[in-house]
Amino acid sequence: MTDLINVENLTFVNRRKKARLFSSAKNFELGPINFSLKAGETLAIVGANGSGKSLLAKLLVGLEKPASGHISLNGDVLTKFNQRQRCFNVRMIFQNSNESLNPGITLGGILDEPLRLNTDLNLLQRAAKIEQTLQQVGLMPEHQFFYRHMLSDGQRQRVALARALILNPQVLVADEPFAALDPSVRSQIVNLLMNIQRDLGLGFIFISHNLGIVRHISDKIIVMKGGKIIEAGKTEVIFNWPKEEYTQKLVHTHQALINRQVT
C-alpha cells in the first residue's frame, strides 16, 4: 500500500523579525521532520511544551510554509500550485472548538462556508451535505439552526469534526482535540472519531499530552523535543521499549499515574 501522506526533510525557520538586542526571544528551528502515514493509520505527536508540535500541524495543513523539504499526498508533492488539493484533503480540527466556532453564525452557516468556498454544489446539494455530515458526527439535522452557545462542549467538538469532514478529506490533523473535554465526553468523542476513521479510511495525525489516549488510538508515535523528532516508532514498541531518556521519563510518568489510579 502506498503512503497516504509522506513528509520528507521538512524544516521551518522562525521568520519573525529579528529579536531585539538583549531580548530573550530566540529563533526556533523545526526539523528535519520525516514520517509517513498510510490510509486508516493514526499517528500521535507527543513531546514537551514548545517542542514544535503545533507548528508541525500548521505546516501539514498549509497554515505555515516550510523553509525546505516537502509533503506528498498519495505520491503528489503539495505545492502552492495544488493548494486546492491540500485544502480538500488535509483538514484541521482546532484545539478549542468553542473559540473556533463563530458565535454569530448558525451551525448550518458554519458548515456551509467550506462548501461555498471550495465546491460547485448548489444550495440544495449543500443543504443535503450539511445534514449528512451532522448525522455522521451524531448530531441531528435540526442542529444546523443552532448557535454555538446552545451546544454542550461535546456537541461543539462534534461540529468542529463535522467542519473538518465536510469536504471529504483523506487526512485529519488535530491539535489537542480532546484536552478541553471532561472524561466521559472525551471517550465518546474518541470513539466517534475512531469509528469515522475506520469507516472512511482516514489518516489521522493528532497532538496530545494524554498518553492514555495516545496508547489507545495511535498506531505509531513521534516524540519531539526542541524542534526535532528524537524518537519514532510503533506505539506499543515506544511504550514497552522507549529508547531515549526523555521518552522513558514520559512513559514512566504515565505508568506511575495509571498505577496510582489502580491502587
Instruction: Rank residues 52 and 169 by Cβ distance to ligand ATP and give the closer one.
Output: 52
- Cβ density class 235-263: b for 16+ within 10 Å, e for less: beebbeebeeebbeebbeebeeeeeeeee
Binding ligand ATP by CB under 6 A: which of 10, 55, 115, 193? 55
Q: Taking the complex as a whole, how short is the minimal distance between the CB of residue 67 and ligand ATP, in angstroms?
A: 11
Q: Does 52 bind ligand ATP (CB under 6 A)?
A: yes
Binding ligand ATP by CB under 6 A: which of 2, 9, 50, 140? 50
Instruction: Rank residues 33 and 111 by Cβ distance to ligand ATP and give the closer one.
Output: 33
C-alpha cell at 147: 448557535
Binding ligand ATP by CB under 6 A: which of 3, 8, 64, 153? 64
Q: Does 53 bind ligand ATP (CB under 6 A)?
A: yes
Q: Does 51 bind ligand ATP (CB under 6 A)?
A: yes
From the number of C-beta atoms within 10 Å of its C-beta (0-12, 13-18, 19+), residue 47 rates as buried
Closest CA to 210 of 194, 198, 221: 221
Q: In the sheet where 171-175 sits, what is the strand order?
A: 90-93, 171-175, 203-207, 42-47, 220-225, 228-234
Q: What CA dihedral angle connects 63, 66, 67 and 70, to 10 degrees?
A: -150
Instruction: Rank residues 28 and 147 by Cβ distance to ligand ATP and give the closer one.
Output: 28
Binding to ligand ATP (CB under 6 A): which residues in 3-42? Answer: 14, 16, 28
Instruction: Rank residues 47 and 66 by Cβ distance to ligand ATP and give the closer one.
Output: 47
Single-letter amino acid, residue 19 = A
Please choose, out of 45-53, 65-73, 101-109, 212-220, the segment that lies near ligand ATP by the rule CB under 6 A.
45-53
Please choose, out of 33-41, 52-60, 86-94, 210-218, the segment that lies near ligand ATP by the rule CB under 6 A.
52-60
Alpha helix locations (H) across the chain? 53-61, 83-89, 97-100, 107-118, 123-136, 153-165, 183-200, 211-217, 235-240, 245-262
How many residues touch ligand ATP under the rule CB under 6 A: the total is 12
Binding ligand ATP by CB under 6 A: which of 11, 34, 36, 54? 54
* Residue 22 exposure: Cα atoms within 13 Å on the Cβ side: 0
Contacts with ligand ATP by CB under 6 A lie at: 14, 16, 28, 47, 49-55, 64
